A = this chain, B = another copy of it.
Amino acid sequence: MVRRLLDAPVPRAALKPCATPVILGRIAYVSDFDVLVMGSGPGGQRAAIAAAKLGRKVAVVERRDMIGGVCINTGTIPSKTLREAVMYLTGMNQREMYGSAYRVKEDITPEDLTQRTRHVMSRQIDVIRSQLSRNHIPLLPGIGRFADPHTVHIDDGSDQERVVHAKKIIIATGTKPARPSSVEFDERTIIDSDGILQLQELPQSMVVVGAGVIGIEYASMFAALGTKVTVIERRNEMLEFCDREVVEALKYQLRDLAVTFRFGESVSAVEKYERGAVTILESGKKIPAETVLYSAGRQGLTDRLDLEKAGLTADNRGRIKVDENFCTEVDHIYAVGDVIGFPALAATSMEQGRIAAHHACGEPVHDISKLQPIGIYTIPEISFVGKTEDELTQEKTPFEVGISRYRELARGQIVGDSYGVLKILVNPEDRKVLGVHIFGTQATELVHIGQAVMGCGGTVDYLVDAVFNYPTLAEAYKVAALDATNKIRQLAVLSD
């Protein structure tokens, strides 16, 4: 009897045992592929599809319960869907219009929030399955580990292992939340970001340890839901790679939602009690809260890969080193996505996957675009592309600033966004756009307009002359561009 090993239709060739099957112990089945991708997150998916489109025989290894990776199952998608549900159910955006106490639903339960999340996750998993299947890429269920540089054993929990030989291997296994060994996680009172979706009720109070992107995104969601949030961050600042004014505006808005920030403070202990926990800081402060969310960075998922059998090693955070083509120290093995570290964004991982696949298949590779937008789904959201004011000042590049406030735009008033702001940084000499920084509704979508101008070699004059649909938030570009060019003109007039 042949076990059904594959979830997706498999090209006939892939099912044919290779010429010299290796049958020893638990090994049940052997197959050959041109490219084996370990992990089905954004990087892995994209790598697999790119290689398949180039005519290669490709397979993806993934745990049955993790199709789509962390992105779909515990990370980006659940958190962004949760955010959308929070925005909607709290009526955040409607308060300008219907008063500050306005809520669509008075008692929001985790069930209200996660209903939507489960729905989106299952649809998204369907999409991935169907994309892989359309490209004839079998999904090999289980956890892979190297047996040698070209051989991966896949353990699906049954009593037999699958063995795959592959000419090229792309590691895209992702990360998991890092858990300090001193902290006693219990998935109820003391949790990491993976535990958010399992919360049984919305806490009245919460301590968030770590003001990185994930920590601050969840802090703002719970603050919007009415939870009293305290954010503890070892450093004296947060989101250092963002525009300073934007980060200050975010802190201002979050404080307005009753968030307390403790910068430059470290946690010395967390004491757990029946109905919550007390977080004790090194400065002696004690902070009671129903829930403590640890967001202390992430750890590369490489510990079960037996990397040494492939001739590879990971650093102390489980990350794998790669070159500009995402090739590891072993020629035919690549690594992409969160497992290689910064920036660990889904969008970037996809690009890395595509580039790695093209390089592995001997296709000419475009460099990864230098213009990578950053999107942070706080409430309000943040997005930017290009340089910050600080970076430009440091490298002594003069710039002029153009600003537009949403509240002066008709669409800003229609959507009830009184705090949003779009800022463009312009080189007064060649009038090129050096950076776009947005804080407010639709920031993560709108940034792509400025990015296109920068990426296609346009100048601020394109934005001055362009006709924008009215009423849209995109008009902010025109207002900001006019602001910048007026300032540049004043400079020219005075120095004439």
Contact = CB atoms under 8 A, between A and B. Distances in A.
Interface of A: 42, 53, 76-77, 80-81, 84, 88, 94, 97, 104, 115-116, 119-120, 123-124, 127, 345-348, 350-351, 366, 368-369, 371-375, 383, 407-408, 410-411, 413-415, 442, 444-453, 455-458, 462, 465-475, 477, 486
Contact of A465 (B369, B413, B458, B473): B369
Contacts of A371: 466-467
A195 to B, nearest CB: 21
Given A77-B414, A368-B467, 10 more contacts: A53-B486, A77-B471, A80-B414, A347-B467, A347-B470, A369-B465, A372-B467, A452-B452, A456-B462, A457-B458
B469 A347 contact: yes
A116 B350 CA distance: 42
Contact of A472 (B53, B77, B124, B445): B445
A58 B210 CA distance: 55
A452 B446 CA distance: 12
Nearest to A375: B469
Contacts of A473: 445
Contacts of A471: 76-77, 80, 346
A448 B468 contact: yes
Contacts of A410: 76-77, 80, 120, 124
Nearest to A127: B408
A461 to B, nearest CB: 8
A375 B120 CA distance: 29
Contacts of A470: 42, 76, 345-347, 350, 375
Nearest to A97: B116
A467 B413 contact: no
Contacts of A42: 470
A152 to B, nearest CB: 28
Contacts of A447: 469
Contacts of A445: 442, 445-446, 469, 472-474
A120 B412 CA distance: 9
A44 to B, nearest CB: 14
A119 B104 contact: no
Centre residue among A42, A348, A472 by max chain B CB count within 10 A: A472
B413 A120 contact: yes
Contacts of A466: 369, 371, 448, 451-452, 455
A458 B452 contact: yes
A125 to B, nearest CB: 11
A383 to B, nearest CB: 6
Given A348-B467, A351-B467, A456-B457, A448 B462 contact: no
> 4 nearest interchain CB pairs?
A456-B458, A375-B469, A456-B456, A452-B452
Nearest to A489: B53
Contacts of A458: 452, 455-457
A373 B81 contact: no
A453 B104 CA distance: 39
Contacts of A81: 414
Contact of A469 (B351, B444, B453): B444
Contacts of A415: 84
A401 to B, nearest CB: 18
A347 B475 CA distance: 9
Contact of A452 (B88, B119, B456, B475): B456
Contacts of A452: 449-450, 452-453, 456, 458, 462, 466
